[in-house]
Amino acid sequence: MANKGFSRGQTQVLFRHLPEAIFEHDDYGLCKVTQVALGDTEVNRDALFDAMADALAMWPADFATKYPDTRDASRRSYYAIGSPREVRFTPYPQVFRCRSCARTGKFTDLIKRGASAVGRCSCGGNLNQMRYVQAHNCGRLEELYVPSQRCPACGSGTDLAFYDPGRVKQARWYCAKCKADVQALRMTPCKCAYNNSLPPGPRAEKFLRVVPTGDPSLYIPHTVAFVNFPEDDQGRLRAAPDALQLMLARTWGLLRDSVSDTVRERASLGKPEDADMTASLVEQLRKLQPNNPVVREYDAKKKQPKGQTEIDRVNELLKACKVTSPGAPRRWLAEHTTLLDKTDVSTIADVASMLRRSGDEDGALDIEEGQRKASELLGIGNIRVVNDFPLALCAYGYTRTARDPSRTIITPFPVDERGRIPVYAIAAETEALWFELDPLKVYGWLLQNGITGGTMPASREEAWARLYVEVPGLREAPHEPAYGQLEAVAIRTLLHTMSHLFLRRVEWSGFAPSSVGEYLIPGSLSFILYANRHAETKIGGLTTLFEQRLNTWLWDAVQSGRECVYDPICEDDGGSCAGCTHREHSCISFNRELSRATVYGGPTPQSSAFEGTKLKHGYWRDAWKAAPVK
């Protein structure tokens, strides 16, 4: 094992130097990571395991069997969580080729044939590592197979050489002595769960592929992001009496105060020791001054505790939808309300006021115009900037040869000395843009396209309640039965597509699209675009975009989203491909549930839950009215 100093940042380790990855060391050449030691990290473990469960649910059940179920609290002890601290590695592969005579073999065999231990061939040439390995969709990795047979022409067993023209199909083994052909590269068969899922008969995917060591598909780490709030705070919030109703009231815009403050004040009224002392003091004051404001305030609070009006209203809305037992708050609801209450959030009104105070009336009018267009024409109810978005990113495994869960088996990192599967996590605060759609317009869009039935809600709060009750798939995890509900798929596809279309033009912020991640909260009709930086400093690109270029960016994204280099083929085939909505990296759903038809109208993908149905009404059908006035 190599021990020479080797310095890399945590983010770089998370994407390039995790266990089983191959990289090139400055001194040792090609190496394979054997272990990454874990350091301490402050992450919300419940949120991490929930996010892991959602991510693993993207794979077919037979392709994720190597993982203990993270939804089962009793099995979470099989995992070890920490930040990447120390990378340990070993030279790999151990197959070498002479640059002069092309003789090739395992290093130990070449030593026996006269090569020196310092990397010199028996002919005096330099020995270099072979830059090819074998890999399979199941995660298996092997060194290149070195033939053991003698030359069929001269019978030599020590002069095996490798012809490398730069193309795997043309590479061959030959005899360096007589130049006779020995054999082509071997296709090694694999017996695995992935092969068992393939139809009978010969298929190239049933064999290990010969892959260059520098090919990005050789090792693809899989990460998942989650909102990282203190575990204790979130736990107390979710366990509080009437927590669900208060969180729904906050999410639906009924409750103006923070949920945590409301819960704290309600709890203080319920503590016997505090209540007795306060009551005694108030009663003494009442005898002296019956109309004292403090006495009146105390009587009002006792009669109607803080937040009770909002709780009653939520219960009334849910009862109208025939829900009597709404259940406990889910993670998405805690995330949404805690983002509102515990982070530094700036609204468009805040920015407009700031611009006016600095004398920039034109800038204030421009951002207010952007808000008006977003609300009236794009169906976006709120756009906010989160200056301290609490993000955590965890790496939970890897795949080889492909990223798509339908074509690969997800493999966990090798277990540590205690038999636990390592999960590498880093936490940071970053900047983010938070979009929330208008529930009335979303419900109307479902009705107009025949995706749901019934009548139009009379108000936003009624629309929120009906979406909550009628579309349970929005708040369920991928492994739950209602997740595939058509209405839920439609709304998630709408949110996901809008997220990708805005990301296409995020260069206005100074960030490349690959440097900005996305986070969806379908239950609150929200998506968040965040700077994918895990460092102490913030660049401020998204904040500047929000404050100075919001109106221009919104129009540019909406207009450019109509175009795809593969139209009209792409448009007729569902409006989703590598030329328009697909992201090469950082897509949380592996480019699933995407279609430009949701925003512009048109045919949907045949492979989706829509089954190619044509949507007559795009969510942005009025977006053309947002064109800048010259």
- pLDDT digit string (tens) for 181-204? 998 888 889 999 999 999 988 888
pLDDT band at 1 (very low <50, low <70, confident <90, very high): very low
If you average pLDDT over residues 466-490, what whole number do you get?
94
Structure token pair of residue 474: 């929005």
If you average pLDDT over residues 17-34, what whole number do you get? Answer: 93
Ordered DSSP codes for 320-354 = HTT-S---PPPHHHHHHHHHHHHS-EEEHHHHHHH
The pLDDT of residue 197 is 92
pLDDT given at position 333 = 93
Task: Report the candidate in 420, 407, 470, 417 with the shortest Cα–Cα distance to residue 442.
Answer: 470
User: Which long-range contacts (C-beta less than 8 Å, at least 24 apart) are formed by 312-315?
Assistant: 313/249, 313/254, 313/461, 314/245, 314/248, 314/249, 314/252, 314/254, 314/465, 315/245
Percent of the chain residues past pLDDT 70, beyond the cut: 94
| Mean pLDDT, range 462-475, rounded to an integer | 95
Helices and strands per DSSP (H, E), number in the chain: 20, 20
Backbone angles phi, psi at 173, to 5 degrees: -95, 140
- 44: tokens are 């919300």
pLDDT at 169: 82
- CA–CA gap between residue 97 and residue 106 (Å, rounded): 9
**Average of per-residue pLDDT across 362-388:** 94
pLDDT at 134: 94
Which range (16-20, 521-525, 533-537) has the least confidence? 533-537
Q: What is the DSSP letter of 145?
A: P
Integer Cα distance of 620 and 626 in angstroms: 10
* Least confident piece of the model among 62-66, 235-239, 247-251: 235-239
Q: What is the mean pLDDT of residues 258-275?
A: 72
Q: What is the mean pLDDT of residues 464-488?
A: 94
Mean pLDDT to the nearest integer, 446-454: 94
pLDDT for the residue numbered 235: 79
Residue with tokens 């460092």: 535
- What average pLDDT does the segment 401-430 reach? 94
Mean pLDDT, rounded, of the chain: 89
Give the pLDDT score at 511.
86
> What is the Cα–Cα distance from 345 to 29, expressed in whole angstroms?
48
Q: Which range among 272-281, 330-339, 601-610 shows the weakest confidence by mean pLDDT?
A: 272-281
- Collapsing DSSP to helix, strand or coil, 552 comes out as helix
* Domain boundary assignment for the chain: 94-212, 231-320
How many Å apart are CA 125 and CA 161, to the nearest integer? 13
Looking at the DSSP bridge assignments, the partners of residue 3 are: none
| 255 CA to centre of own chain | 30
Work out the number of other CB atoms within 10 angstroms of the CB of residue 515.
16
Query: What mean pLDDT do residues 423-429 have?
Result: 93
Nearest to 48 by CA among 214, 226, 173: 226
Q: Where are the beta strands (DSSP E) in 476-577?
A: 516-521, 526-531
Token pair in block for residue 90: 């070993």
Confidence of residue 497 (pLDDT cuts 50, 70, 90): very high
Determine the Cα–Cα distance for residues 131 and 144; give it in Å rounded to an integer. 9
pLDDT at 396 over 50: yes
How would you label 295-305 residue by residue, b for 16+ Cβ within 10 Å and e otherwise?
beebeebeeeb
pLDDT, position 474 = 94
Q: How far apart are CA 250 and CA 342, in angstroms?
A: 13
pLDDT digits (tens, 9 = 90+) for 295-339: 777 666 666 688 888 999 999 999 998 887 777 888 999 999 999
Report the C-alpha dihedral over residues 26, 27, 30, 32, rounded to 10 degrees. Answer: -100
Maximum distance among all alpha carbons in the chain? Answer: 118
pLDDT range class, residue 270, cuts 50, 70, 90: low
Please report which confidence band the pLDDT of residue 624 belongs to, taking 50, 70 and 90 as the band edges. confident
* pLDDT > 90: percent of the chain: 63
